[in-house]
Amino acid sequence: MTGTLINVITVLLGTAVGVVLGNRLPQRVRETVLDGLGLSTIAYAVLSLVDAMSQQQNVPAKFIVVLLAALAGGVIGEWVNIDAALHRLGGWLERRFARSADAAGAVRFVRGYVAASLVFCVGPMTILGSIHDGLRGDFTLLSIKSALDGFAALAFAASLGVGVGFSVITIVLFQGGLSLSAGLLQNAFSGPSDPVLAILSAIGALLIIGIGLSLLEIKRVRVANFLPALLIGPLAAVGLRALGVAGF
């Protein structure tokens, strides 16, 4: 859990600095910062997607798995309505701790909480870093992730406010939970280029692209409703590996 605790500290520090800076910035500048975040988020996702598939065999088959996992995950997520549940949690946190003066402030808080929670918890560094931390006490990957998340939290908080800091709750539950259950996952991945991890990373990249589109206000994507795909994709890859399909 050491890496998760470091991550929590960097996100809180980044949020604190971002809120102070954001209060000093004109609205127009804050909007530009948010646009920059959206563009950077999409660029990062594209790079992650390319990196995930660069050393893989039978990429078309893996893409089909990613596509079907996203579709199935989206259907399940819409049925359960994970996105609404996450927004309700953000709204409860805002009423309990922030109590914004107006409706716009409340919406900004929830938006910051949801966007930051997804960005900080979706990605290969979260999975691998948590497993290494839980099994070996090696929090090197999570330390690198923590530094990146700290800067991201600063930028997010400058535009979206203190709600970004409350994403540490999601980090503790998700990332900390992965570290504590790492023993169950130690045999799931053979290494950074494992096909199962590649599919997981590709699905995570797609979700991050959805976050970027939402930040840019191009399309309001209910990204949280696609979260089941992060489980469906790897399970499908494991099944195809058991069947002896090439590349898995």
Q: At 81, is the secondary structure helix, strand, or coil?
A: coil
Sign of CA dihedral 192, 215, 166, 94: negative
Q: What is the pLDDT of residue 188?
A: 59
Q: How far apart are CA 47 and CA 237, in angstroms?
A: 22
φ, ψ for residue 148, nearest 5 deg? -65, -45
Q: How far apart are CA 156 and CA 99, in angstroms?
A: 19
Q: How far apart are CA 224 and CA 84, in angstroms?
A: 9
pTM beyond 0.75:
yes
Q: At 193, is the secondary structure helix, strand, or coil?
A: coil
The encoded tokens of residue 30 equal 């804050």
DSSP class of 195:
H
Could you state, in order of their start, the residue ranges of all structural domains in the chain? Answer: 2-242
Listed as ranges, residues in the chain with pLDDT below 50 are none
Q: What is the pLDDT of residue 117?
A: 92
Q: What is the pLDDT of residue 191?
A: 59
